[in-house]
C-alpha cells in the first residue's frame, strides 16, 4: 500500500483530488479520510505527491517525479482542481 499527501489538486480521469488530500492505491483504507486512486502507479503519478510510507517512496523513486523538489507549503491556486 502506498499513501501520498497531495501538494496540488489533481484530476485523474473522472477522479478529482484536492491539495491536502491523502491518496492510496489500495482498499481497505488505512485512515477513513484517505481517498482511493485505483489506477495509481509510478507511471500515473503527478507532480506534488509527498510519499508517506516506504511503499510510496519506492513508487515515487520509480516515477518521472523521482527527483522533484517539493515545496514546503501549498499555494491556494494549487488547491483548485
Q: Does any domain span residue 50?
A: yes
Q: Does any domain span residue 81?
A: no
- When pLDDT is cut at 50, 70 and 90, the band that residue 13 belongs to is confident
Domain that residue 60 falls in: 3-64
- When pLDDT is cut at 50, 70 and 90, the band that residue 70 belongs to is confident
Q: How many residues are given for the chain? A: 81
* H-run or E-run covering 60: helix 54-61
| pLDDT at residue 62 is higher than 90 | yes
Question: Global pTM?
Answer: 0.86
Measured between its terminal Cα atoms, the distance across the chain in Å is 25
- φ, ψ (nearest 5 deg) of residue 25: -95, -5
Count of domains for the chain: 1
Q: Quote the Cα angle for 7-2-5, to 5°.
A: 15
Q: Does any domain span residue 9?
A: yes
Q: Per residue in 21-43, pLDDT tens?
A: 999 999 988 899 999 999 999 99
Amino acid at each position: 500500500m502506498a499513501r501520498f499527501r497531495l501538494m496540488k489538486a489533481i484530476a485523474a480521469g473522472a477522479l478529482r483530488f484536492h491539495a491536502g488530500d491523502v491518496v492510496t492505491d489500495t482498499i481497505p483504507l488505512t485512515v477513513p479520510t484517505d481517498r482511493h486512486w485505483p489506477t495509481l502507479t509510478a507511471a500515473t503519478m503527478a507532480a506534488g505527491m509527498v510519499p508517506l510510507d516506504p511503499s510510496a517512496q519506492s513508487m515515487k523513486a520509480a516515477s518521472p517525479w523521482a527527483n522533484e523538489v517539493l515545496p514546503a507549503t501549498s499555494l491556494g491556486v494549487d488547491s483548485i482542481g
